[in-house]
Structure 1
């Protein structure tokens, strides 16, 4: 146990030393004695901790008494927290300590909120230096269906009828039971609220994970008055998007809800009533992703028919309810598709070729042909080599899960005939011992970490930079 509690009065937490600082009384430098070790920093650095913290008290004590304050705490842990104040990042030496010790010390000084910011900082993500660092075990026999991450770095995992959440430090987990037999769509709305849906259970459920309570159920009123199952969920800062399909599978739609006004219905877009053999209209959107740079919602759908797999990728103007761009998929329809706001492109893995390719936003109106990574598409042999492959974007990279292997693709700028040409190069991820395994089923990202799940496994792999993290 620590010698003092956080609620201890200031005079018992630290005391001024008997000697005065040397020539610093009129400067910006503050000297602190922690456990017998002297630290020097600036007044501006201490104020970054915020008011009503021990760091602000140290600043005030030094400023008023012009004496070196003494804190009876671990100087090594103090050094880590001081580095967080200085840089906004955890230093590499933090790996030498148990994370719980760092969290406990941060709470004592009143800056545990800064640790959350460190772990959710995307600038700490180093794509080419990722290694498998730990395994999050779920227990039970249910396979993992979908994962998502929150802004504060926590991880949400659906397995069977349950949702398990791990806190930002990946140390504490809690599980809630839902009304679904199995969850197919999961989206974090805040640190403790999620939206969940299933393809065989009516309605989108808004769930409070802390209380384990159903807050609200959102449904779509279709013409046949049948159930409305959820095919995909997406969100923007303003809206929650939900792709519904009627229980009879003869109609589908995308509903738009206001996330800041109790999930009030804002509008309905992409409504299809199916008549005859109109395959294009019978495909509900199976992936939704908001693209803030162009203020459009990507809705992707695919369907297996007599002539093979076909589909479409539509970019919707939510305000007008009109389609801004559309890409029709036939010869090498996507196994998975994503869109990158940073790279201004839409990416796919072809279900037949198994190859990754992209379409540049700047050329999407005039040229909807796919540009394959490496410049050429390999010949297709009649096999669906991309079946089950996953693709996701994060920052300036695109990540592909092909069977058990992981690839990272980055843009390389090339100049040909005086014009800039976009080229993407692929690299395998991980050390030799990390490579391989069951087929990748989910990829998720949060701050400095990547999360991976695999077929028939009840655990989540955590990948992070070998030079960062805990």
Structure 2
């Protein structure tokens, strides 16, 4: 179909005026619009708008499309955001028109930019149902809000608008680790199935399987997956559970580029027997956080390490035994490492800026954010709690609730406060509270996603002012 359904001739005087100016006239569905060539070319090369900008000023292009939606997309080009009246339109209509004009990427950026996440305004806005009877085991998001959910042997994917979904069947009995490499590709692994599989979720097949060649030549299972903008990190454990390692892959070629944290377990060396079960890239420090824990007769023990991937050296580590962690996360914006105590269920932090001098290489240096509750009758209050960071905010699950911790700035001017103060807020409205236990928590674009125990769906939390 040609881009222009017709054209209108203009006289020489009009041509001279139009040629001297930078104004472009466009007839969309019988309604005349005027804009500048700079606005049209801001859509990028090879888009519908760039072709209009390059057209002859002798003609006014006619486009047989919806003029009301065109006006919204033109505002998007002018300001980078949709106008408030866009809430009166169906999102799917906006998507179809943005695809026609070749500016869907601009629409995604306007609606799903991570910088637009408003932590204090998040409300439960949508429930995404999954096919089958299996509850989600894990999920992963892309920066602009696409979502991959593992449930049983299946992975269900939602596009950035959450309007389109597709489900593929994997070779796993259950998926334990998942990384969204792109909206169409994911890396998946299981604790009881050898190898990391790179899945094409559009075509529903395995592109390739990545394995760790350990000393015993046995198979290797995946315990955790993480990534930086350029690399993918995979925690492997041999099927005999006598060795473990973290492999570093180039994210584009998926070729191995380094190996760190290789442990061969001999005798009762419990610490080295613990593989990393969570990997998080710390962008501001160019370090990889790796944490893992183990439950034994004497309780839960674990370790947290910060790796310099380039040198393969540990720059800081701590062993946890007294109140080991249920989960760990690093907040770049606050320069803090957070954990949830598996016994107490309390949130703790330690300052990243003091780690290099060795002061915090002791679990006693954790600062408790809560009430320092004592464990009663050996009950582990923190089992299953999750903690994640987004920007300068920290989100911690407690049963069916989500706590938001944010730093309170004290003092003015050059006055400094010695102790950092973080304040807790409960997320959502009263009707959102007291539901089933939260099992997974993640962020994608301007949304928060979570799953609950024994529920076959994903909750979507979004800022009310960002909804369309």
Query: Unpaired segments of 5 or more residues in structure 1?
Result: 1-6
- The reply to whether residue 48 of structure 1 matches residue 42 of structure 2 is yes
The match for 2:257 is 266
* TM-fit CA distance, 1:188: 1.3
**Structure 2: distance between partners of 1:425 and 1:286:** 29
- Kindly indicate whether the alpha-carbon contact (under 8 Å) linking 1:14 and 1:72 is maintained by their aligned counterparts in 2: no
- The reply to whether residue 207 of structure 1 matches residue 203 of structure 2 is no
The match for 1:141 is 133
- Kindly indicate whether the alpha-carbon contact (under 8 Å) linking 1:147 and 1:442 is maintained by their aligned counterparts in 2: yes
- Kindly indicate whether the alpha-carbon contact (under 8 Å) linking 1:119 and 1:153 is maintained by their aligned counterparts in 2: no
The match for 1:408 is 404
Equivalent of residue 366 in structure 1, options 355, 359, 362: 359
**Structure 1: distance between partners of 2:116 and 2:81:** 8
Q: Residues 159-211 of structure 1, C-alpha deviation per residue, up to 9 Å, x if partnerless? A: 11111111111111111111111000000122322111100111111111122
Q: Residues 430-451 of structure 1, C-alpha deviation per residue, up to 9 Å, x if partnerless? A: 1233233111111121111111
Equivalent of residue 177 in structure 1, options 165, 169, 192: 169
Equivalent of residue 100 in structure 1, options 92, 110, 118: 92
Provide the aligned C-alpha RMSD in A.
2.5
Task: Give TM-score, length-normalised by structure 1.
Answer: 0.90
- The reply to whether residue 322 of structure 1 matches residue 313 of structure 2 is yes
- Kindly indicate whether the alpha-carbon contact (under 8 Å) linking 1:16 and 1:70 is maintained by their aligned counterparts in 2: no
What SS is found at the alignment partner of 1:141?
coil
Paired residues for 1:22-171 under 5 Å: 26-35=20-29, 37=31, 39-61=33-55, 64-65=57-58, 70-171=62-163
What SS is found at the alignment partner of 2:276?
coil
Task: Give TM-score, length-normalised by structure 2.
Answer: 0.91
* TM-fit CA distance, 1:429: 1.2
Equivalent of residue 442 in structure 1, options 432, 440, 444: 440
**Structure 2: distance between partners of 1:40 and 1:240:** 47
With over 3 angstroms needed to count, the CA separation of the structure-2 counterparts of 1:20 and 1:407, relative to structure 1, is: farther
- The reply to whether residue 253 of structure 1 matches residue 245 of structure 2 is yes
Equivalent of residue 329 in structure 2, options 338, 361, 383: 338
Query: Unpaired segments of 5 or more residues in structure 2?
Result: none
**Structure 2: distance between partners of 1:320 and 1:193:** 30
**Structure 2: distance between partners of 1:40 and 1:315:** 56
With over 3 angstroms needed to count, the CA separation of the structure-2 counterparts of 1:95 and 1:216, relative to structure 1, is: same
- Kindly indicate whether the alpha-carbon contact (under 8 Å) linking 2:287 and 2:306 is maintained by their aligned counterparts in 1: yes
* TM-fit CA distance, 1:69: 5.1
**Structure 2: distance between partners of 1:266 and 1:436:** 46
With over 3 angstroms needed to count, the CA separation of the structure-2 counterparts of 1:15 and 1:310, relative to structure 1, is: farther
- The reply to whether residue 216 of structure 1 matches residue 208 of structure 2 is yes
The match for 2:341 is 350
**Structure 1: distance between partners of 2:3 and 2:294:** 66
**Structure 2: distance between partners of 1:392 and 1:431:** 20
With over 3 angstroms needed to count, the CA separation of the structure-2 counterparts of 1:79 and 1:419, relative to structure 1, is: same
* TM-fit CA distance, 1:456: 0.8
Q: Residues 8-58 of structure 1, C-alpha deviation per residue, up to 9 Å, x if partnerless? A: 242x15646899699776444545454455544433222111234332344
With over 3 angstroms needed to count, the CA separation of the structure-2 counterparts of 1:251 and 1:9, relative to structure 1, is: closer
**Structure 1: distance between partners of 2:460 and 2:190:** 26
With over 3 angstroms needed to count, the CA separation of the structure-2 counterparts of 1:222 and 1:355, relative to structure 1, is: same
- The reply to whether residue 419 of structure 1 matches residue 416 of structure 2 is yes
